[in-house]
Structure 1
Amino acid sequence: MPIVSVIQLGKSFGAERIFSQLNFQIDPLDRIGLVGPNGAGKSTLMNILAGLEEPDEGTVAVGRTIRMGYLTQISAFDPDNTLHAEMLTVFAQIQEWERELSDLATQMAAPDAQQDHALYEGMLARYAELQTRFEHAGGYTYENRVAQVLDGLGFTREQQHAPFKHLSGGQQTRASLGKLLLQEPDVLLLDEPTNHLDLDALEWLETYLSTWKGAIVIVAHDRYFLDKIVTRTIELAFGRIEEYPGNYTKYLELREERMERRLREYEAQQAYIAHTEEFIRRYKAGQRSKEARGRQTLLNRMERVERPQDFQTMNFKFSPVVDSGTIVFSTRKLLIGYGVRARQDVPAAQEPKVLVQVADVEFMRGDRVGLLGPNGSGKTTLLRTLTGELSPVGGQLQLGHNVRVGYYSQTHEGLNMERTILDEIRQVSALSEEGARTFLGRFLFSNDDVFKQIGSLSGGERSRVALAKLTLQGSNFLILDEPTNHLDLQSRQFLEEVLSDYDGTLLFVSHDRYFVDRLATKVWSIEQGVLIPYMGNYTEYRTFKRPLVLDVPQPLLAPAAKKQVTEPEPKSASPARPAGKKGKGKVKTRTIEDVEKDIEKAETRVKTLEEELSEAALQADAARLTTLNEAYEQAKTQVEELLAEWEQLADVAS
């Protein structure tokens, strides 16, 4: 039985019709991917489903007890609250029951309560009732769930316990996603949930959603994500929807088959119509005029098959004007960061900060490298250093012979927001106005579109302008920073095809795992501040993780990361001793691994006490409940203290 029904839905903005007569249902365990070109109305439809916009016609019928959760809804965050405290507000009712249970346990242990039989029985009944509610609502696991979600979304312990107002815009979006997941609505509406997530957080979210107990409707441009989560695909295009069973890859296969069948039907009907019209023209005035009039009548009554509409696609290629030398660039003890003077006569704005240490590498002509790493790890800084926009903090970077660099910035900083699209293209080319307009048509800008100001364009339109400028440079070394951001799925696939045919050298950052899989022959991964090269595309990197260079720089690596790239230390190595303890016996310094073992033991103790509390509540054993409740609180305090110790050690290690 459907929990949401969309019936004859229609929406317009002014004279522009967005969609009409939409009909579909959402069932309790649906995993729906909503796909379609940019501007088709996907976000508008999601807003209507969430109740944030009203349709012009039709209705959205939602079950009486069904709770809808929408990612882009503005969560009521207290800016002075910590992120962790804000997540706990989701469980305010559970926390209230927890406090009442603790108070009741204390009151039942008092002599006065135990002597008053009626009072004691009343408190015991109330305790049993609250205990059932508390346990059913996940009272013993909600703090672990908060930690699981925040850790999975990539928030450090420091960020989790910092005021919410200190988070960046991207971090606040991730926090909104975390809060929404913890609320566990019956229908989860996710509009681009993969934005602002690095690859580790993406993979965590995929795992988390795979066990989601409710329905999900997702708008996303990440094909890998859609394939992992979605079991049903709804395409919104040309003002209507079409449904397909299966994930995104299956949708592409079925859509192609459907388009081919419809095109055959259309062409067959057009051939029949042309043949019939020719018969009518030839015989309408002769002996067979009656038959010709009959055919005309049938033709007039025929239901015409529309020519199938397909998505517009770009049409361009990258063509190097000259080949580079065999070595595109090489590095020697290279340190990447910021705060370095670009020229000796310009004072440094701040102390230099190293973000990435680069292994000594030679980047060869024809290499295709995908650069991966967590958000904030220095990927964009590395790319800007390679383009010469930033100076290295240390070491050497040498460009090869005849290397012509073309750079695509994810922020489109190379575009002049005051110019029109046409003027922007003519600034970097010798094209006439007519030639520039023809050229821009290959990037889906037609008619008066070319006179739009850059600053008024959508993210996807700006991306297409940036790509248009890049094709005019004739570069033989393309450095691309998130080139698929803002592009719809069809444009991403086309860009993959163009870059697959590119004869030059390629270095790119992308969170689109299909994009990395299709193009990369090597992966560079920034791990704990060190760039480590691996052989293969994304799938091979995740499966095998075969480093190409093992003698990578060490100073920025945390202890746990060093083990991946260095020989293990001899087991006989002496442990470090605290300062001031020399010559006074063996004192072992606690390591992160020691604390993690203690945390595991303490969390196991908490879980055991939770089970014992449940058993004591069922047996109505007040004395045992009091004892267990005290032990439970002490165990939770121990876990918190150990987590604080872990954070201190992690800060020292980093």
Structure 2
Amino acid sequence: MTLLNAKDLGITLGMPLFTNLNFSINKGDHIGLVAANGRGKSTLLSCLAGGMEPTEGDITRARGLKVGYVEQNVPGDLMEQSLYDAVLSALPTEQAEYESWRVDVVLDDLAVPVELHHRLVRELSGGWQRVMLLARVWVGEPDLLLMDEPTNHLDLSRIGFLQNWLGTVARDTPILVASHDRAFLDAVTNRTLFLREDQSQSFALSYSSARAALDESDAAKERQFENDSRKAQQLRRQAAKLKNIGINSGSDLLITKTKQLKERADKIEQQSQAAYKDKSAGAIKLVNSDTHAKALITLEEGEVTAPDGKVLFKIPPLWIKRGDRIVLLGRNGTGKTQLIRMVQQAVTGEHPTIKSTPSVVMGYSDQALSQLDDQATPTEVITERFDVGDQRAIALLAGAGINLDMQSKPIGALSGGQKSRLAMLDLRLRNPNFYLLDEPTNHLDIEGQEALEEELQAHNASCLLVSHDRAFVRNTGTRYWLIENKRLKEVDDPEDFFAASLGEQSSG
């Protein structure tokens, strides 16, 4: 049964986001919506939810269809409410008065600890705010669930809970979920819609299989286009020869054949379609400046403590060698960020138990992108920090996906994807030989994640990184350090940690 059908859908907001989009959502569908940053995923979800009208085309919904839309951002008017009241306020007034028990049931289904029920939304972590937004939608018992980047701010245990929840509690509810988390999409979807400016494609496959099918489809179209182009060129060359012969011999028949050959070439070119080339949201390029040192960072036996002096975990003697891409694993609250800060301190100054080789040049980025001042402009960041002129800065920023109009506006006005690409440009211009990266894929689309992976691998970059993105960790890491039972130890791979974390039903 078809619940929603989109026909010839198109949206233009200053520029076309997408056109000629045709797809349907049926019972049993768990669809992954995939596109580059700024390509219209959130806009499409808003249209499907009835929040805005498309520029062209039609959306047909089944009679009485109740659509629940879990947006990315928390509305400001909810921040001063308690989590419980924020969910309760999603119900109609009369229902909220007599059926508040529905909130208790939903919060229990979503494993929200009782001690959080009456905490103000603004006091909650980003992960629990995401859970609150889902609870507000789910309490209304939607027939169709739309979700925009639901794993943002969630740790692995909460991502695992959400995966399980979608496969059990919400199993019979069709969903359309926009996400850049490749492992999550593989776990929860059975269809994939690749949203493009034109030639959007849908496959009855989860993300990884669908991506392979899309790449093959694009490659086949490219081969066909090249063959058609060669055939048309050959016909035109033959037509040119016949034309000369016909003119010299005065043969009307040859002139007619010349015209027919040209018409065949025209028809082939008109029917031929080049493979789709998606416009990049901005390039990500890194460097790895030279150092002859084999050991860049040395960790002596010691302890990592919280700001209040509490011992978080103990460190054995360890080394970060040139070419190591070490992923730091551990549940939330175990002290990963504290260790990252200690390594940063060792490189920029001194630390009693962590030593840095003098030749280390660090490129550092944290998950909040705190190295970028929201009040500064992208142009100021590049021209004031680095020895580049205005024209070079314009070109560098444009290459990173920040157009001329945005280059002179405050960084705070940039999208998350643009900020991330600006941060990567800032890292490259520092010419580092050691990267310290805390959740570097936050806000990056899949294209950006893959570009970052490729750059780290291609330059044999040395780095210590923290990430909840399983695909990124698997594709990037060469060594793995795990914080467990208040000790730091090296493990062969991240899979046991992933399995244990995804099986938990707690922290957010």
1:514 is aligned to 471
Q: Which residues in structure 2 correspond to 1:179-258 (within 5 Å)?
A: 179-211=136-168, 212-258=171-217
Is 2:276 the partner of 1:309?
yes
2:115 is aligned to 158
Q: Is the 8 A contact 1:187 1:214 kept in 2?
A: yes
Query: Are residues 363 and 170 of structure 1, via their aligned partners in 2, closer, same or farther at CA, if it must alter by over 3 Å?
Result: same
Q: Is the 8 A contact 2:32 2:178 kept in 1?
A: yes
Query: Are residues 527 and 185 of structure 1, via their aligned partners in 2, closer, same or farther at CA, if it must alter by over 3 Å?
Result: farther
Higher relative contact order (CA 8 A, sep 6+): 2
Is 2:59 the partner of 1:65?
no
In the alignment, the residues of structure 2 paired with residue 426 and residue 7 of structure 1 have an alpha-carbon distance, to the nearest angstrom, of: 47
TM superposition shift of 1:191: 0.3
TM superposition shift of 1:433: 5.1
Q: Is the 8 A contact 1:4 1:63 kept in 2?
A: yes
Q: Is the 8 A contact 2:243 2:258 kept in 1?
A: yes
Deviations 1:527-585 (A, max 9, x none): 57x3533413322433599xxxxxxxxxxxxxxxxxxxxxxxxxxxxxxxxxxxxxxxx
Query: Are residues 496 and 169 of structure 1, via their aligned partners in 2, closer, same or farther at CA, if it must alter by over 3 Å?
Result: closer
Is 2:353 the partner of 1:386?
no
Q: Is the 8 A contact 2:347 2:360 kept in 1?
A: no
Q: Is the 8 A contact 1:174 1:196 kept in 2?
A: no
Query: Are residues 259 and 163 of structure 1, via their aligned partners in 2, closer, same or farther at CA, if it must alter by over 3 Å?
Result: closer
1:49 is aligned to 48
User: In structure 2, the residue corresponding to 1:275 is in which secondary structure?
Assistant: helix
In the alignment, the residues of structure 2 paired with residue 427 and residue 216 of structure 1 have an alpha-carbon distance, to the nearest angstrom, of: 47
Letter in 1 for 2:273: E
Letter in 1 for 2:372: L
Flag structure 2 segments of 5+ consecutive residues without an equivalent.
502-508
1:468 is aligned to 425
Candidates 521, 533, 538, aligned match of 2:489: 533
Query: Are residues 504 and 292 of structure 1, via their aligned partners in 2, closer, same or farther at CA, if it must alter by over 3 Å?
Result: closer
Candidates 288, 292, 300, aligned match of 1:323: 292
- TM-score, normalised on structure 1? 0.66
Query: Are residues 87 and 415 of structure 1, via their aligned partners in 2, closer, same or farther at CA, if it must alter by over 3 Å?
Result: closer
Query: Are residues 484 and 71 of structure 1, via their aligned partners in 2, closer, same or farther at CA, if it must alter by over 3 Å?
Result: same
In the alignment, the residues of structure 2 paired with residue 484 and residue 258 of structure 1 have an alpha-carbon distance, to the nearest angstrom, of: 27
Q: Is the 8 A contact 2:194 2:201 kept in 1?
A: yes
Deviations 1:496-520 (A, max 9, x none): 1221234343211111111111222
TM superposition shift of 1:267: 0.7
User: In structure 1, the residue corresponding to 2:260 is in which secondary structure?
Assistant: helix
In the alignment, the residues of structure 2 paired with residue 176 and residue 37 of structure 1 have an alpha-carbon distance, to the nearest angstrom, of: 24
In the alignment, the residues of structure 2 paired with residue 390 and residue 323 of structure 1 have an alpha-carbon distance, to the nearest angstrom, of: 17
Letter in 1 for 2:341: R
In the alignment, the residues of structure 2 paired with residue 540 and residue 477 of structure 1 have an alpha-carbon distance, to the nearest angstrom, of: 27
2:110 is aligned to 149
User: In structure 2, the residue corresponding to 1:3 is in which secondary structure?
Assistant: strand
In the alignment, the residues of structure 1 paired with residue 206 and residue 402 of structure 2 have an alpha-carbon distance, to the nearest angstrom, of: 31
In the alignment, the residues of structure 1 paired with residue 105 and residue 376 of structure 2 have an alpha-carbon distance, to the nearest angstrom, of: 52
In the alignment, the residues of structure 1 paired with residue 476 and residue 295 of structure 2 have an alpha-carbon distance, to the nearest angstrom, of: 20
Letter in 1 for 2:475: R
In the alignment, the residues of structure 1 paired with residue 491 and residue 130 of structure 2 have an alpha-carbon distance, to the nearest angstrom, of: 34
Query: Are residues 225 and 328 of structure 1, via their aligned partners in 2, closer, same or farther at CA, if it must alter by over 3 Å?
Result: same
Q: Is the 8 A contact 2:378 2:409 kept in 1?
A: yes
Flag structure 1 segments of 5+ consecutive residues without an equivalent.
99-138, 339-351, 546-654
Aligned-residue RMSD, C-alpha: 3.4
In the alignment, the residues of structure 2 paired with residue 401 and residue 364 of structure 1 have an alpha-carbon distance, to the nearest angstrom, of: 14
TM superposition shift of 1:159: 2.2
Letter in 1 for 2:67: M
Query: Are residues 448 and 67 of structure 1, via their aligned partners in 2, closer, same or farther at CA, if it must alter by over 3 Å?
Result: closer
Aligned residue pairs: how many?
A: 484
Is 2:279 the partner of 1:294?
no
Q: Which residues in structure 2 correspond to 1:91-130 (within 5 Å)?
A: 96=98
Is 2:240 the partner of 1:281?
yes
Q: Is the 8 A contact 1:355 1:377 kept in 2?
A: no
Q: Is the 8 A contact 2:482 2:491 kept in 1?
A: no
TM superposition shift of 1:63: 1.3
**After the TM superposition, which of the residue ranges 467-476 and 142-151 deviates more from structure 2?**
142-151
Q: Is the 8 A contact 2:17 2:39 kept in 1?
A: yes
Identity of aligned residues (%): 28
Letter in 2 for 1:254: A
1:336 is aligned to 305
Letter in 2 for 1:5: N
User: In structure 1, the residue corresponding to 2:306 is in which secondary structure?
Assistant: strand
In the alignment, the residues of structure 2 paired with residue 71 and residue 405 of structure 1 have an alpha-carbon distance, to the nearest angstrom, of: 39
Query: Are residues 165 and 37 of structure 1, via their aligned partners in 2, closer, same or farther at CA, if it must alter by over 3 Å?
Result: closer
Q: Is the 8 A contact 1:325 1:403 kept in 2?
A: no
1:562 is aligned to none
